[in-house]
Amino acid sequence: MAGIEKLREKLSLYLSTLSDSAQGLLLRSLEKSQRDGTSDAASDMILAALNDILKENTPDIPLEKYAKKEFFRAAAVFTSGIDHVRKTQACISPSSHDVIWAWVMRDIVTAEQKAKLQKACNGLSDDELVKQGTALRDELVPAISKYLKSVLNEMGGEQKIANHLGGVHVYHDLIDILACGEQLSPLAPILSRMPAQLSSWSTPEGEEIYKLVSKYTQQAPMKACWLFSAISKRLSSQKLKIQLATKLGGSDDAIQVAATVYAPAIVQVLADMEANLAQFEKCLSQPSEFETCLRHLSTWRSLAKYMDAEMDISVQCAWGKAITSMKTKLSELLETEIESTPGLVRKALRAPKNGAQEFADQNLLQDAERAVLLFHNAERMKDCIALNGPIGRIRKELDQSFEILTTSLIERTRLAVGSDAEICKVLGETAVIFAKNLFDDAYAAAFRRQLKAAASVQEMRAAEA
């Protein structure tokens, strides 16, 4: 018996030296053998030892993780893909989840509930995790409602709660979250029939969903905002949400649609536009967030395009004024950013003075590439944001200087040796990116071939020598 225990200790010591991937591979192999009935006593001993090691190495997972998931399960259906600038009914900002949960843990849960939430739940089945998480949610929701009712009866109660949550917006998101379960239940017949991604209202699936949506909005017109929010993530494009509002309203006239119960669909799209514009502006000042910045700009452009294409929006109506205001702000932001593009491109690619060595300023190259990408995006939407004049002027300046710069760079690449050749290679790669975004793929490919041919001259000379 002592010998077996000693063997187990040595086995555990050896197994603990294996990498995580090796342990996982061995575990799967042993479990398969056990399922197939081909394992023996030695295999079972190894499997038991390996399970003990993995159990020791697995950090404790508190029940709070699953209770939080259950608490926000219904709310997830109505949670937007982006934080809205202003509260939109039935649309919950994703960042509100963590803020509200932190408030619940701080101000609502009892000591007994906190102990339950902090208890490790490793090893529990999925069904048991859902069961315990749901039970805690069912305790917390009434407690929150009771607390809110009590504080709201006080003078300035709403502001007090908003202060505790960090803002009025989060407070209104909390109110929506508490209502989500009740609002989601009657939508189940629609959501259960709706595909993960609906691409058109004219397909058999689309026509079926449209009939269900039409019937629901007629029966519960004041709850239309919840329906439009719930189906948002099931639409392949937000264009479909705009089409739905105009189709239900029987008109593409914005003023007419605004006067119907279908208006929330458009209000939600406008809220997404405003949110993407706000995030674009925020990310502009953060170089590390530049890709995110372009993504928000692209999303805004798509939404604006859908609004223009699907609706007849007068600039005098409220929605028209809101869109015009956003276009004006975006025009101002972009004009400021792209104004320096020609100068940055010249500085980044220009030849050194008086025969000096080639030099590549990485910060300057990054700034120039950033400006070129912004200009490329601004040029694509120049008609939408009324930047024809500035973009035309900048485009003319770029056209005049870029050919000179690239001709110079090709010649410098042909003559460069040593470190100059390496730097010309870096400059050439950046210039190809510029060419692709300022012109097109074909232009960039032709330019790349010229650079490659120029670089091969020195390579052939070196080989001959």
According to the model, what pLDDT value does residue 9 have? 73
Cα 383 to Cα 147, 331, 438: the distances in Å are 52, 11, 17
According to the model, what pLDDT value does residue 462 have? 62
According to the model, what pLDDT value does residue 1 have? 52
Flag residues of the chain having pLDDT under 50. none
Q: Are 162 and 151 in contact (CB under 8 A)?
A: no
According to the model, what pLDDT value does residue 10 have? 73
According to the model, what pLDDT value does residue 356 have? 85
Instruction: Compute how many other C-beta atoms are within 10 angstroms of the C-beta atom of residue 237.
Output: 15
Partners of 198 in beta bridges:
235
Note the pTM of the prediction, 2 decimals.
0.85
User: pLDDT digit string (tens) for 402-436?
Assistant: 999 999 999 999 988 889 989 999 999 999 999 99
Please, what's the largest Cα pairwise distance for the chain?
92
Instruction: Compute how many other C-beta atoms are within 10 angstroms of the C-beta atom of residue 74.
Output: 19
According to the model, what pLDDT value does residue 188 have? 96
Give the tokens for residue 33: 């053998």
Give the tokens for residue 65: 């993780």
Tell me the C-alpha distance between 407 and 411, whole Å. 6
Q: Are 144 and 108 in contact (CB under 8 A)?
A: yes
